[in-house]
Structure 1
Amino acid sequence: MEANIRRFLPGNGSGMKLVISVISLILFVGVIIYAVYETTKATVTVMVDEEEVTVQTHASTVAELMMEQEWDVNEYDHIEPSLDSRIDGNMLVTWQPAKQVAMTIDGEKQNVWTTAEDVEQLLAEQNIEYNDHDHIEPAVNTVITEDLVVNYESAFQVELTSDGEQQGFWTTSTTVADFLEKENVSLGELDRVEPALEERLDEATDIRVIRVEKVTDVVEETVAFGTVTKRDDDLENGKEKVVNAGAEGQVNKHFEVVLEDGEEISRELVKTETVKESEDRIVAVGTRPAPETVSRSASPKPAPTSTPSPTPASNNSSSSSSESESKSSGGRTMTVSATAYTASCSGCSGVTATGINLNNNRNMKVIAVDPSVIPLGSKVHVEGYGTAVAGDTGGAIKGNKIDVHVPTKEEATRWGRKSVKITILD
C-alpha cells in the first residue's frame, strides 16, 4: 500500500512538502473563519432574578437566544425587551421567571402566576385596592416564593347596637358569631342577638345585642277583711253593734320579671306568701222587737154622746202628737231587693255617679239606688249592712232595688241577693 502511494508522489521530498503546505493552508483558513465567526457574535447580558449571566450569541432575536441557551421560558414570565426583539450589539435582557401562588380572595380560591416581588405588588397585579381594615395574610411586604398561599378578605362596615350604644365597625367576619368574638362582645346566658349568631354578615347587616335578665319582684298587697253579721236577740230590731272592727291581712306576691335592655317584657306570679291573715268585721244586728209606746198626750176615745165636736184647739193637739210619732220612727221604711258590687266589677270605673272614688275608699258604705225612689245623697240604714249614703246608680237598679258596695268580690258573692229592710234617714 505504501509503495502504491509513493508511486503517485512526484518525489519523496517535494511531495511531502506539498502535502504539508496544503494542510497548513486549510488550517489557516479554518482559523480565519473561526476568528471571523467568533468576532461577529453579539454579547448579551441576561439578568435572571438579580443574577447576571453574560453570553456570546449569533441568535437574531431574544427568543432564539433563550432557545440557544435551553432556558425554559414560561408564558407568564416577564422578559424585557420582549421575545421578538432583535439582538443588536451589547444588549441587556431582564428575565423574571413567574411563580405560581395560591390566592383566596373573599372566600374564592384560585391559582395565579406572578412576577411580583412581594404580596403588595401581587395585589396590585390583581387590581385589588386594599385599606388598613382589610385582612391580608401574610403581610404585604412578604417576598413571593413558590407555593406561597395568600389570603385576602375585604372589610365592610356594620352597625352594632349594644348596652344602649350604637357604633359602626369595619369587619371581615363572615358570621354574626365571628364578628362578636372578634370585637370581644360577650353574651350572657339569656341574651339575644338579632340577627341570629349563625347568620352571614354583609354591608346591609345591623346587629343588635339584647340584654335579657330575670329578676324577682316582691309586691306587698293588703287583703281586705270581710263583714259578717250575726243576729243578736239582745239588741232592738234595726240596731247594730260592732263586735270586732276587723283587720286587713297582708300577702307578699313574688313575681318573676323578664327585662330586655332594662324594659319589663313579662312578669309571672311564682309564689304567694301570706304574711298576715285578715280578720272579719263582725256586726251584731238586733232582732228584739221594739217595745210599744203610748203617747202621753193621747186620751181614751170618748163614747159617742151629745157632746159637741172637739174644738179646733183639740184637733191641733192630736195632729201634733201624730207628727211626733212619725219623727221618732226615724224616717221612711221599706223592703227592697239588695245585691252587692265592688269597685272593680266588670264595666265599673270605680267612681260613683256622685263622684265618690271607691278605688281609694274600699270600705266606704255606699249603695246604688233608683233616684226616683231614693234621692241621691240620702243617708240610708240598710238591714245587715249599716248606714250608707245613696251615692251611685245602675242600669239594673230600678224601683225597690239597691246594690250595696263591698270591698271584695268574695264579700259580694257571700252577700248574694236578699230582701232587706231599709230606712231613709234624711
Structure 2
Amino acid sequence: MRTIQKWLLTVLRLLRSRAFAVSGLAALLSVTVYATSASINTVYIHDDDLEEAILIRTSEDDINVILENQGIEVRPADTVAFTGFENQVAEVTITRAFPVSINADGKTLTVHTTGGTVREILSQADVEIDDQDLINKSLSTFVEPDDEIVINRVEYLTSQVEEEIPFEEEIRYTPLLRNGRSEILQAGRTGTLVKTYIERTVDGVVEEATLDGENVVEAPVTQISLVGADVPVSDLNLGYEIVNNVPTTYEKVIKGARATGYSAGSRARGASGNRLEYGHVAVNPKVIPYNSLLYITSEDGSFVYGYAIASDTGIALMDGRIDVDLYYETYRESELNGVKNVNIYVLD
C-alpha cells in the first residue's frame, strides 16, 4: 500500500497539477479498497453440536481450513454439507453422527450414523438377517440416538430320538406240558421307534419341538410262553356237545390212532386249499375226506387236540404209517407233541 502511495506522489509531482493529483489519488484509493473488500468471504456454519449458527468472515475459501481455523472438529461418521461460494457467501451444515447399538450373535456392535432406517443401519454394519430372525424394531423404523437393535436368530432344525418299543407277552395254555409247567416258546425282543422332531431354536436354545413323524425301525417280537393246562390245542368251536371228553353225536370213530405233530410256517395252505392254523390236521383223504369235521382226544382225556378240520395230507398218511398229523403254529409245539395215541371222532 505504501509503495503505491509513493509511486502516486511521484507521478503527481511530475504532473504538477493539484487538481489532477487529487482526482487521481481518489480513484486509486477506491480501487485499492474494493480490491481489499472483494477478498473477504462470509460463511454461515450450522453445527448440531452448537445451539446457534455462527457467522464468520474470512479470506479463506477452503471449507476444511475454515472449520479448522474455527476449532470445529468433524468426526469420520459426521456429514458436512457445503453449498459452495456464491457472491462470496457460503453455508455449511454439519450433521453429527450418533451411536446405535446392535446386539446379535452374542456380540454388541456400536454403529455411528447420522440417521436411517433399521434396515439401512444393519446393512451399514454388514449384519445379515433373514425372514426367520426376530428383531425388536421394525426394519422400516428410523433410528434415534442411543437406540438398541436386538436380533434373535431363529432356526428350525430336525432332530431324531430313538425310543425302545417294549415287547408284549402272550401266554398259550397247552395240554403238551404238565399242569403248571411253563416254557418260553418264543423269546421277546424290544423294538426300535425313531421319532423325528422339528425344533425351533432361538439363539441356539430350543424353545419348541414339534413331532414331525414316527418310524418303526425294528418291530418288537412278542414273547410267547407255553403253560401246561387241561385245555384243547384247537380254539375252534364247531358247536357239538361234548360229554366226558366224547361227542354225543358223530358218524364214526377211529380209536387208538397214531397222531404226530407238524408245522409249516405262517400263511401255509394245506392240500385242500385251507389255510393251516391250530385246528387243521393232515389225513389220508381216502379214509377221512378233506373238510371233514373232527374231534380228536386221547382215550383218557389227558391230551385233547379238540375240534379239527381235515385240510392236508402227507406221504406218511398215505402209506398208513400215521393216522393223523396235528398242525401246530410253531415247530417247538410239534416237537412236544411227539407221537400220541388218540381217538378221532368224525363228526361230519
Q: TM-score, normalised by structure 1?
A: 0.40
The structure showing larger relative contact order (alpha-carbon pairs under 8 Å, at least 6 residues apart) is: 2
* Structure (1 or 2) with the larger CA radius of gyration: 1
TM-score (ref. length: structure 2): 0.48
